[in-house]
Chains A and B, each alone.
Chain A
Amino acid sequence: MLSILRTVREVLRHTFARRETIQYPEEKPYLAPRFRGRIILSRDPDGQERCVACYLCSAACPVDCIALQAAQTEDGRRYPAFFRINFSRCILCGFCEEACPTLAIQLTPDYEMCEYDRSKLVYEKEDLLISGPGKYPDYNFYKVAGLAVGGKDKGQAENEAPPVDVRTLLP
Protein backbone atom coordinates (compact mmCIF):
# COMPACT_ATOMS: atom_id res chain seq x y z
CA MET A 1 0.00 0.00 0.00
CA LEU A 2 2.79 2.38 0.91
CA SER A 3 4.50 1.85 -2.43
CA ILE A 4 1.25 2.74 -4.16
CA LEU A 5 1.03 5.99 -2.22
CA ARG A 6 4.63 6.76 -3.04
CA THR A 7 3.96 6.18 -6.72
CA VAL A 8 1.01 8.53 -6.65
CA ARG A 9 3.08 11.16 -4.87
CA GLU A 10 5.83 10.87 -7.47
CA VAL A 11 3.32 11.30 -10.27
CA LEU A 12 1.79 14.29 -8.52
CA ARG A 13 5.20 15.93 -8.37
CA HIS A 14 5.24 15.89 -12.15
CA THR A 15 2.43 18.45 -12.10
CA PHE A 16 5.00 21.15 -11.69
CA ALA A 17 7.66 19.73 -13.96
CA ARG A 18 8.36 21.47 -17.25
CA ARG A 19 6.87 19.73 -20.25
CA GLU A 20 9.26 18.16 -22.70
CA THR A 21 7.23 18.74 -25.83
CA ILE A 22 8.70 21.06 -28.43
CA GLN A 23 5.78 22.94 -29.93
CA TYR A 24 6.55 22.54 -33.62
CA PRO A 25 6.16 24.64 -35.81
CA GLU A 26 6.38 27.55 -33.40
CA GLU A 27 9.52 26.13 -31.80
CA LYS A 28 12.03 24.08 -33.70
CA PRO A 29 14.34 21.51 -32.12
CA TYR A 30 18.08 22.12 -32.14
CA LEU A 31 19.81 20.02 -34.79
CA ALA A 32 23.54 19.43 -34.92
CA PRO A 33 25.37 20.24 -38.18
CA ARG A 34 25.87 16.52 -38.78
CA PHE A 35 22.09 15.97 -38.89
CA ARG A 36 21.25 14.26 -42.16
CA GLY A 37 18.74 16.57 -43.79
CA ARG A 38 18.37 18.13 -47.22
CA ILE A 39 21.28 17.54 -49.67
CA ILE A 40 23.22 20.46 -51.16
CA LEU A 41 26.13 20.87 -53.57
CA SER A 42 28.77 23.22 -52.21
CA ARG A 43 31.43 25.46 -53.69
CA ASP A 44 35.14 26.00 -53.10
CA PRO A 45 36.41 28.79 -50.85
CA ASP A 46 37.36 30.34 -54.24
CA GLY A 47 33.75 30.21 -55.43
CA GLN A 48 33.93 27.44 -58.04
CA GLU A 49 31.77 24.38 -57.63
CA ARG A 50 33.42 21.43 -55.92
CA CYS A 51 31.66 18.62 -57.73
CA VAL A 52 33.95 16.83 -60.22
CA ALA A 53 31.21 14.53 -61.55
CA CYS A 54 33.06 11.39 -60.51
CA TYR A 55 29.77 9.40 -60.14
CA LEU A 56 30.88 8.06 -56.74
CA CYS A 57 27.78 9.42 -54.98
CA SER A 58 25.52 7.97 -57.63
CA ALA A 59 27.23 4.59 -57.23
CA ALA A 60 27.06 4.70 -53.44
CA CYS A 61 23.40 5.66 -53.29
CA PRO A 62 21.41 2.64 -52.06
CA VAL A 63 18.18 3.76 -53.74
CA ASP A 64 19.70 5.17 -56.96
CA CYS A 65 18.21 8.60 -56.60
CA ILE A 66 21.21 10.57 -57.93
CA ALA A 67 21.66 11.11 -61.67
CA LEU A 68 24.42 13.21 -63.21
CA GLN A 69 26.44 13.65 -66.39
CA ALA A 70 30.10 14.66 -66.44
CA ALA A 71 31.43 17.46 -68.64
CA GLN A 72 34.77 19.26 -68.81
CA THR A 73 35.75 22.93 -69.12
CA GLU A 74 38.60 24.03 -71.37
CA ASP A 75 40.73 24.38 -68.23
CA GLY A 76 40.51 20.70 -67.62
CA ARG A 77 38.13 21.03 -64.63
CA ARG A 78 35.36 18.44 -64.63
CA TYR A 79 31.86 19.55 -63.65
CA PRO A 80 28.39 18.01 -63.82
CA ALA A 81 26.36 19.03 -66.89
CA PHE A 82 23.24 18.11 -64.97
CA PHE A 83 22.86 16.82 -61.39
CA ARG A 84 19.50 15.46 -60.34
CA ILE A 85 18.43 14.10 -56.97
CA ASN A 86 14.99 12.56 -56.64
CA PHE A 87 14.03 13.48 -53.08
CA SER A 88 10.97 11.27 -53.12
CA ARG A 89 13.42 8.35 -53.27
CA CYS A 90 16.20 9.77 -51.12
CA ILE A 91 16.40 8.13 -47.71
CA LEU A 92 18.84 10.73 -46.34
CA CYS A 93 21.35 8.03 -45.39
CA GLY A 94 24.46 10.13 -46.04
CA PHE A 95 26.33 7.53 -48.09
CA CYS A 96 26.82 10.08 -50.87
CA GLU A 97 28.39 12.53 -48.43
CA GLU A 98 30.76 9.82 -47.21
CA ALA A 99 31.65 8.77 -50.76
CA CYS A 100 32.35 12.25 -52.17
CA PRO A 101 36.10 12.86 -52.53
CA THR A 102 35.79 16.62 -52.87
CA LEU A 103 33.28 17.22 -50.05
CA ALA A 104 30.92 18.67 -52.62
CA ILE A 105 27.70 16.88 -51.75
CA GLN A 106 26.65 17.50 -48.12
CA LEU A 107 23.63 16.90 -45.93
CA THR A 108 22.28 19.86 -44.02
CA PRO A 109 19.99 20.09 -40.98
CA ASP A 110 17.02 21.18 -43.07
CA TYR A 111 14.08 18.82 -43.47
CA GLU A 112 11.19 21.08 -44.38
CA MET A 113 10.77 20.24 -48.03
CA CYS A 114 7.22 18.93 -48.34
CA GLU A 115 5.45 19.22 -51.68
CA TYR A 116 2.00 18.34 -52.91
CA ASP A 117 3.29 17.39 -56.35
CA ARG A 118 5.81 14.56 -56.56
CA SER A 119 7.50 16.01 -59.65
CA LYS A 120 8.50 19.06 -57.63
CA LEU A 121 10.56 16.79 -55.39
CA VAL A 122 13.12 16.14 -58.11
CA TYR A 123 15.84 18.72 -57.47
CA GLU A 124 18.11 19.86 -60.32
CA LYS A 125 21.57 21.35 -59.99
CA GLU A 126 20.30 24.90 -59.70
CA ASP A 127 18.15 23.78 -56.72
CA LEU A 128 21.05 21.97 -55.06
CA LEU A 129 24.02 24.26 -55.67
CA ILE A 130 24.68 26.77 -52.92
CA SER A 131 26.99 29.75 -53.00
CA GLY A 132 29.06 28.82 -49.94
CA PRO A 133 31.36 26.01 -48.87
CA GLY A 134 28.79 24.28 -46.62
CA LYS A 135 30.15 22.42 -43.60
CA TYR A 136 33.80 22.42 -44.67
CA PRO A 137 34.92 26.01 -45.19
CA ASP A 138 38.62 25.44 -45.97
CA TYR A 139 38.75 22.45 -48.28
CA ASN A 140 39.72 22.95 -51.90
CA PHE A 141 40.11 19.63 -53.72
CA TYR A 142 42.18 20.91 -56.57
CA LYS A 143 44.69 22.48 -54.18
CA VAL A 144 45.55 19.05 -52.72
CA ALA A 145 45.05 16.85 -55.76
CA GLY A 146 47.88 16.18 -58.17
CA LEU A 147 45.90 16.84 -61.31
CA ALA A 148 47.05 19.57 -63.65
CA VAL A 149 44.18 21.92 -64.37
CA GLY A 150 44.02 25.47 -65.67
CA GLY A 151 45.98 27.70 -63.35
CA LYS A 152 47.80 24.93 -61.54
CA ASP A 153 50.60 22.82 -62.93
CA LYS A 154 51.79 19.48 -61.67
CA GLY A 155 53.77 19.98 -58.49
CA GLN A 156 52.06 23.16 -57.40
CA ALA A 157 49.55 21.69 -54.95
CA GLU A 158 49.95 21.98 -51.16
CA ASN A 159 52.40 19.47 -49.65
CA GLU A 160 53.58 18.57 -53.11
CA ALA A 161 57.07 18.83 -54.44
CA PRO A 162 57.58 19.67 -58.10
CA PRO A 163 58.05 16.59 -60.29
CA VAL A 164 61.60 15.50 -60.86
CA ASP A 165 62.89 15.76 -64.43
CA VAL A 166 64.28 12.23 -64.84
CA ARG A 167 66.82 13.34 -67.41
CA THR A 168 68.70 15.27 -64.67
CA LEU A 169 69.13 11.97 -62.80
CA LEU A 170 71.09 10.32 -65.55
CA PRO A 171 74.69 9.68 -64.72
Chain B
Amino acid sequence: MNPIVKQLIVIVAVFGGAMSASAGLIWLERRMLSLWQDRYGPNRVGPFGLLQVVADMIKIFFKEDWIPPFADRVVFVVAPALLTASVLMSFAVLPVAPGIAVSDLNVGLLFFLGMSSLGVYGIALGGWASNNKYALLGAIRATAQMLSYEVFMGLALMGVVMLSGSFNLGEIVAAQEKMWFCVTQFPAMVVFIIAGFAETHRMPFDLPEAESELIAGFHTEYSGIKFGLFFVGEYLGVALISAMIATLFFGGWQGPWLPPIVWFLGKTFVFICGFILIRASLPRPRYDQLMAFGWKVLLPVALLNLLATGAIMLAKG
Protein backbone atom coordinates (compact mmCIF):
# COMPACT_ATOMS: atom_id res chain seq x y z
CA MET B 1 0.00 0.00 0.00
CA ASN B 2 1.14 3.50 -0.69
CA PRO B 3 2.92 4.64 2.49
CA ILE B 4 1.22 8.03 2.35
CA VAL B 5 -2.21 6.42 2.26
CA LYS B 6 -1.21 4.10 5.08
CA GLN B 7 -0.06 7.03 7.16
CA LEU B 8 -3.27 8.91 6.46
CA ILE B 9 -5.28 5.92 7.57
CA VAL B 10 -3.24 5.73 10.77
CA ILE B 11 -3.77 9.44 11.42
CA VAL B 12 -7.52 9.21 10.86
CA ALA B 13 -7.74 6.08 12.97
CA VAL B 14 -5.81 7.53 15.90
CA PHE B 15 -7.72 10.79 15.76
CA GLY B 16 -11.05 9.00 15.43
CA GLY B 17 -10.11 6.62 18.20
CA ALA B 18 -9.17 9.46 20.50
CA MET B 19 -12.37 11.42 19.85
CA SER B 20 -14.60 8.38 20.18
CA ALA B 21 -12.79 7.41 23.37
CA SER B 22 -13.48 10.86 24.70
CA ALA B 23 -17.13 10.78 23.67
CA GLY B 24 -17.59 7.22 24.87
CA LEU B 25 -16.11 8.23 28.20
CA ILE B 26 -19.15 10.41 28.78
CA TRP B 27 -21.25 7.24 28.77
CA LEU B 28 -18.66 4.96 30.35
CA GLU B 29 -17.95 7.25 33.28
CA ARG B 30 -21.60 7.61 34.18
CA ARG B 31 -22.24 3.88 33.90
CA MET B 32 -19.14 2.89 35.86
CA LEU B 33 -19.68 5.50 38.57
CA SER B 34 -23.22 4.25 39.02
CA LEU B 35 -22.07 0.63 38.99
CA TRP B 36 -19.93 1.37 42.01
CA GLN B 37 -22.66 3.43 43.63
CA ASP B 38 -25.28 0.65 43.46
CA ARG B 39 -27.45 2.33 40.90
CA TYR B 40 -28.00 2.32 37.15
CA GLY B 41 -26.46 5.00 35.03
CA PRO B 42 -28.24 6.17 31.90
CA ASN B 43 -30.05 3.12 30.59
CA ARG B 44 -33.12 4.56 28.89
CA VAL B 45 -31.73 6.31 25.83
CA GLY B 46 -30.85 3.59 23.34
CA PRO B 47 -29.53 0.14 24.27
CA PHE B 48 -27.72 0.37 27.61
CA GLY B 49 -28.02 4.13 27.42
CA LEU B 50 -25.41 4.38 24.66
CA LEU B 51 -27.29 7.08 22.81
CA GLN B 52 -26.92 9.27 25.89
CA VAL B 53 -23.71 10.52 24.28
CA VAL B 54 -25.65 11.64 21.22
CA ALA B 55 -28.27 13.27 23.40
CA ASP B 56 -25.61 15.13 25.38
CA MET B 57 -23.87 16.27 22.24
CA ILE B 58 -27.10 17.56 20.73
CA LYS B 59 -27.94 19.37 23.95
CA ILE B 60 -24.53 21.04 24.16
CA PHE B 61 -24.57 22.08 20.53
CA PHE B 62 -27.96 23.70 20.84
CA LYS B 63 -27.11 25.75 23.92
CA GLU B 64 -26.84 29.47 23.54
CA ASP B 65 -23.33 30.55 22.69
CA TRP B 66 -22.93 33.31 25.23
CA ILE B 67 -19.74 35.16 25.93
CA PRO B 68 -19.87 37.32 29.04
CA PRO B 69 -19.79 40.99 28.10
CA PHE B 70 -17.03 41.61 30.65
CA ALA B 71 -14.82 38.84 29.31
CA ASP B 72 -11.91 39.01 26.93
CA ARG B 73 -13.63 37.68 23.82
CA VAL B 74 -10.79 36.26 21.78
CA VAL B 75 -8.99 34.53 24.63
CA PHE B 76 -12.29 33.30 26.06
CA VAL B 77 -13.08 31.45 22.86
CA VAL B 78 -9.57 30.19 22.23
CA ALA B 79 -8.83 28.81 25.72
CA PRO B 80 -10.81 25.53 25.54
CA ALA B 81 -9.51 24.92 22.06
CA LEU B 82 -5.93 25.30 23.36
CA LEU B 83 -6.45 22.63 25.97
CA THR B 84 -8.04 20.18 23.58
CA ALA B 85 -5.52 20.83 20.85
CA SER B 86 -2.51 20.23 23.06
CA VAL B 87 -3.93 16.98 24.38
CA LEU B 88 -4.82 15.81 20.90
CA MET B 89 -1.29 16.57 19.70
CA SER B 90 0.13 14.22 22.32
CA PHE B 91 -1.86 11.39 20.80
CA ALA B 92 0.39 11.64 17.79
CA VAL B 93 3.37 10.01 19.45
CA LEU B 94 1.60 6.98 20.90
CA PRO B 95 2.75 3.63 19.47
CA VAL B 96 -0.48 1.72 19.00
CA ALA B 97 1.15 -1.30 17.35
CA PRO B 98 4.71 -2.29 16.48
CA GLY B 99 5.89 0.29 14.00
CA ILE B 100 2.55 2.08 13.77
CA ALA B 101 2.31 5.54 15.23
CA VAL B 102 1.14 8.79 13.78
CA SER B 103 4.61 10.17 14.27
CA ASP B 104 7.68 8.24 15.36
CA LEU B 105 9.35 11.19 17.05
CA ASN B 106 12.79 10.65 18.45
CA VAL B 107 11.84 12.78 21.46
CA GLY B 108 8.29 11.47 21.76
CA LEU B 109 8.29 11.48 25.56
CA LEU B 110 9.59 15.04 25.74
CA PHE B 111 6.93 16.04 23.24
CA PHE B 112 4.26 14.53 25.47
CA LEU B 113 5.59 16.37 28.51
CA GLY B 114 5.81 19.60 26.55
CA MET B 115 2.26 19.31 25.30
CA SER B 116 0.91 18.76 28.78
CA SER B 117 2.72 21.89 29.85
CA LEU B 118 1.03 23.75 27.02
CA GLY B 119 -2.29 22.42 28.20
CA VAL B 120 -1.91 24.50 31.33
CA TYR B 121 -2.29 27.57 29.13
CA GLY B 122 -5.80 26.58 28.21
CA ILE B 123 -6.88 26.55 31.83
CA ALA B 124 -4.98 29.62 32.93
CA LEU B 125 -6.27 31.66 29.99
CA GLY B 126 -9.78 30.34 30.47
CA GLY B 127 -9.85 31.52 34.05
CA TRP B 128 -8.18 34.83 33.21
CA ALA B 129 -10.42 35.63 30.26
CA SER B 130 -13.53 35.01 32.32
CA ASN B 131 -12.83 38.24 34.19
CA ASN B 132 -14.30 36.69 37.31
CA LYS B 133 -12.52 36.60 40.67
CA TYR B 134 -13.49 33.06 41.48
CA ALA B 135 -12.74 31.71 38.05
CA LEU B 136 -9.33 33.33 38.31
CA LEU B 137 -8.74 31.76 41.71
CA GLY B 138 -9.70 28.40 40.35
CA ALA B 139 -7.43 28.90 37.36
CA ILE B 140 -4.51 29.91 39.56
CA ARG B 141 -4.97 26.84 41.73
CA ALA B 142 -5.26 24.65 38.67
CA THR B 143 -2.14 26.14 37.12
CA ALA B 144 -0.08 25.73 40.27
CA GLN B 145 -1.30 22.18 40.72
CA MET B 146 -0.62 21.17 37.14
CA LEU B 147 2.77 22.81 36.97
CA SER B 148 4.04 21.28 40.18
CA TYR B 149 2.76 17.80 39.33
CA GLU B 150 4.39 18.04 35.94
CA VAL B 151 7.75 18.25 37.68
CA PHE B 152 7.29 14.88 39.33
CA MET B 153 5.81 13.43 36.19
CA GLY B 154 8.90 14.29 34.23
CA LEU B 155 11.23 13.09 36.95
CA ALA B 156 9.43 9.80 37.32
CA LEU B 157 9.71 9.20 33.62
CA MET B 158 13.44 9.77 33.66
CA GLY B 159 13.88 6.37 35.22
CA VAL B 160 12.04 4.82 32.30
CA VAL B 161 14.18 6.79 29.89
CA MET B 162 17.35 5.65 31.60
CA LEU B 163 16.34 2.01 31.44
CA SER B 164 15.32 2.11 27.81
CA GLY B 165 17.99 4.52 26.63
CA SER B 166 15.81 6.71 24.48
CA PHE B 167 12.95 9.18 24.49
CA ASN B 168 11.34 7.45 21.54
CA LEU B 169 8.12 5.85 22.73
CA GLY B 170 8.40 3.00 20.25
CA GLU B 171 11.81 2.10 21.62
CA ILE B 172 10.58 2.38 25.21
CA VAL B 173 7.91 -0.20 24.42
CA ALA B 174 10.46 -2.41 22.70
CA ALA B 175 12.75 -2.21 25.73
CA GLN B 176 10.03 -3.81 27.83
CA GLU B 177 10.24 -7.15 26.02
CA LYS B 178 11.82 -8.92 28.94
CA MET B 179 10.21 -7.18 31.88
CA TRP B 180 7.56 -4.52 31.97
CA PHE B 181 8.62 -1.34 33.68
CA CYS B 182 5.79 -1.60 36.20
CA VAL B 183 7.97 -4.12 38.02
CA THR B 184 11.37 -2.49 37.80
CA GLN B 185 10.14 1.07 38.15
CA PHE B 186 7.29 0.59 40.59
CA PRO B 187 7.74 3.82 42.59
CA ALA B 188 8.07 5.78 39.37
CA MET B 189 4.84 4.22 38.16
CA VAL B 190 3.01 5.21 41.32
CA VAL B 191 4.33 8.77 41.06
CA PHE B 192 3.39 8.95 37.39
CA ILE B 193 -0.11 7.68 37.99
CA ILE B 194 -0.74 10.19 40.77
CA ALA B 195 0.78 12.97 38.72
CA GLY B 196 -1.37 11.89 35.79
CA PHE B 197 -4.48 12.35 37.92
CA ALA B 198 -3.33 15.83 38.83
CA GLU B 199 -2.45 16.69 35.24
CA THR B 200 -5.90 15.98 33.95
CA HIS B 201 -7.36 17.50 37.12
CA ARG B 202 -9.49 14.46 37.82
CA MET B 203 -10.57 13.27 41.19
CA PRO B 204 -9.15 13.39 43.69
CA PHE B 205 -7.31 16.42 42.34
CA ASP B 206 -10.22 18.17 40.72
CA LEU B 207 -10.25 21.18 43.00
CA PRO B 208 -10.00 23.54 40.03
CA GLU B 209 -13.22 22.40 38.54
CA ALA B 210 -15.36 20.73 41.14
CA GLU B 211 -18.88 22.04 41.30
CA SER B 212 -18.85 22.82 44.94
CA GLU B 213 -15.49 24.53 44.99
CA LEU B 214 -15.38 28.20 44.15
CA ILE B 215 -18.59 27.89 42.16
CA ALA B 216 -17.01 25.92 39.37
CA GLY B 217 -13.43 26.99 39.21
CA PHE B 218 -12.01 28.13 35.94
CA HIS B 219 -14.99 27.12 33.85
CA THR B 220 -17.56 29.10 35.82
CA GLU B 221 -18.42 31.38 32.94
CA TYR B 222 -18.36 28.72 30.28
CA SER B 223 -21.49 27.18 28.87
CA GLY B 224 -22.55 25.35 25.78
CA ILE B 225 -20.05 24.08 23.29
CA LYS B 226 -17.05 25.78 24.92
CA PHE B 227 -17.78 23.99 28.16
CA GLY B 228 -18.28 20.83 26.17
CA LEU B 229 -14.86 21.34 24.65
CA PHE B 230 -13.28 21.72 28.09
CA PHE B 231 -14.83 18.46 29.09
CA VAL B 232 -13.89 16.71 25.89
CA GLY B 233 -10.38 17.95 26.55
CA GLU B 234 -10.48 16.52 30.05
CA TYR B 235 -11.72 13.13 28.86
CA LEU B 236 -9.10 13.16 26.12
CA GLY B 237 -6.53 13.77 28.83
CA VAL B 238 -7.83 10.78 30.75
CA ALA B 239 -7.56 8.61 27.68
CA LEU B 240 -4.11 9.97 26.95
CA ILE B 241 -2.74 9.37 30.43
CA SER B 242 -4.21 5.87 30.47
CA ALA B 243 -2.58 5.15 27.15
CA MET B 244 0.70 6.60 28.44
CA ILE B 245 0.62 4.42 31.54
CA ALA B 246 -0.03 1.41 29.36
CA THR B 247 2.77 2.36 26.99
CA LEU B 248 5.42 3.39 29.47
CA PHE B 249 4.92 0.92 32.25
CA PHE B 250 2.84 -1.97 31.03
CA GLY B 251 4.39 -2.85 27.72
CA GLY B 252 2.18 -0.93 25.32
CA TRP B 253 1.07 -3.36 22.68
CA GLN B 254 2.91 -6.37 24.01
CA GLY B 255 1.00 -9.49 24.90
CA PRO B 256 0.46 -13.12 23.82
CA TRP B 257 -1.67 -14.40 20.97
CA LEU B 258 -4.06 -11.42 20.54
CA PRO B 259 -3.21 -8.75 17.93
CA PRO B 260 -1.12 -5.93 19.46
CA ILE B 261 -3.73 -3.22 18.86
CA VAL B 262 -6.18 -5.20 20.98
CA TRP B 263 -3.69 -5.39 23.82
CA PHE B 264 -3.03 -1.67 23.59
CA LEU B 265 -6.71 -0.78 23.61
CA GLY B 266 -7.44 -3.28 26.34
CA LYS B 267 -4.77 -1.93 28.66
CA THR B 268 -5.85 1.64 28.00
CA PHE B 269 -9.43 0.66 28.76
CA VAL B 270 -8.43 -0.94 32.04
CA PHE B 271 -6.62 2.20 33.12
CA ILE B 272 -9.52 4.41 32.08
CA CYS B 273 -11.73 2.28 34.32
CA GLY B 274 -9.10 2.74 37.01
CA PHE B 275 -9.43 6.51 36.62
CA ILE B 276 -13.18 6.26 37.06
CA LEU B 277 -12.79 3.92 40.03
CA ILE B 278 -10.53 6.40 41.79
CA ARG B 279 -13.06 9.10 41.11
CA ALA B 280 -15.77 6.95 42.67
CA SER B 281 -13.86 6.17 45.81
CA LEU B 282 -11.52 8.88 47.00
CA PRO B 283 -12.42 12.16 48.71
CA ARG B 284 -10.95 15.42 47.61
CA PRO B 285 -8.03 16.76 49.63
CA ARG B 286 -7.72 20.38 50.50
CA TYR B 287 -5.56 22.45 48.23
CA ASP B 288 -2.67 22.87 50.65
CA GLN B 289 -2.78 19.18 51.47
CA LEU B 290 -2.61 18.47 47.77
CA MET B 291 0.41 20.69 47.17
CA ALA B 292 2.16 19.50 50.30
CA PHE B 293 1.65 15.89 49.26
CA GLY B 294 3.13 16.61 45.89
CA TRP B 295 6.19 18.52 46.94
CA LYS B 296 6.94 16.73 50.18
CA VAL B 297 6.17 13.13 49.24
CA LEU B 298 6.12 12.62 45.50
CA LEU B 299 9.18 14.69 44.64
CA PRO B 300 11.49 12.83 47.06
CA VAL B 301 10.10 9.51 45.86
CA ALA B 302 10.73 10.43 42.24
CA LEU B 303 14.24 11.63 43.01
CA LEU B 304 15.05 8.57 45.07
CA ASN B 305 13.76 6.35 42.29
CA LEU B 306 16.02 8.16 39.84
CA LEU B 307 18.97 7.76 42.22
CA ALA B 308 18.33 4.08 42.76
CA THR B 309 17.85 3.38 39.05
CA GLY B 310 21.05 5.19 38.21
CA ALA B 311 22.98 3.41 40.95
CA ILE B 312 21.75 -0.04 39.92
CA MET B 313 22.50 0.67 36.29
CA LEU B 314 26.00 1.77 37.18
CA ALA B 315 26.54 -1.22 39.38
CA LYS B 316 25.40 -3.56 36.62
CA GLY B 317 27.87 -1.94 34.30
Contact = CB atoms under 8 A, between A and B. Distances in A.
Interface of A: 4, 7-8, 10-12, 14-15, 17-21, 23
A12 B40 CA distance: 16
Nearest to B274: A8
A60 B282 CA distance: 51
A17 to B, nearest CB: 5
A29 B187 CA distance: 50
Interface stretch (B13-21, B31-39, B103-111, B234-242): B31-39
Nearest to A8: B281
B271 to A, nearest CB: 14
Contacts of B37: 14
Interface residues of B, number: 12
A8 B38 contact: no
A7 B281 contact: yes
A104 B38 CA distance: 42
Main secondary structure of the interface of B (DSSP, over half): helix
A38 B34 CA distance: 33
Contacts of A8: 277-278, 281-282
B277 A11 contact: yes
Interface string B269-288: 00000000110111000000
Given A4-B282, A7-B282, A19 B277 contact: no
Given A8-B277, A10-B281, 8 more contacts: A7-B282, A8-B278, A12-B277, A14-B35, A14-B36, A18-B38, A21-B39, A23-B40
Given A8-B277, A11-B277, A12-B277, A17 B38 contact: yes
A154 B38 CA distance: 63
B136 to A, nearest CB: 31
B191 to A, nearest CB: 13
Contacts of A23: 40
Contacts of B278: 8
A4 B204 CA distance: 11
- Tell which of B38, B39, B40, B281 has the most Cβ of chain A within 10 Å: B281
A15 B39 contact: no
A4 B37 CA distance: 17
A31 B37 CA distance: 24
Contacts of B35: 14-15, 19
A11 B39 contact: no
B40 A14 contact: no
Contacts of B277: 8, 11-12
Contacts of A12: 36, 277
B40 A19 contact: yes
A117 to B, nearest CB: 26
B49 to A, nearest CB: 12
Nearest to A16: B35
Contacts of A11: 36, 277, 280-281
A20 B35 CA distance: 10
A132 to B, nearest CB: 37
Contacts of B280: 11
A19 B281 contact: no
- Tell which of B36, B39, B280 has the most Cβ of chain A within 10 Å: B36
A136 B36 CA distance: 44
Interface in B1-60: 34-40
13 contacts: A4-B282, A8-B281, A11-B277, A12-B36, A14-B36, A14-B37, A15-B35, A17-B38, A18-B38, A19-B39, A19-B40, A20-B38, A21-B39
A23 to B, nearest CB: 7
Given A7-B282, A8-B278, A11-B277, A21 B40 contact: yes
A142 B34 CA distance: 56
B148 to A, nearest CB: 20
A18 B37 CA distance: 10
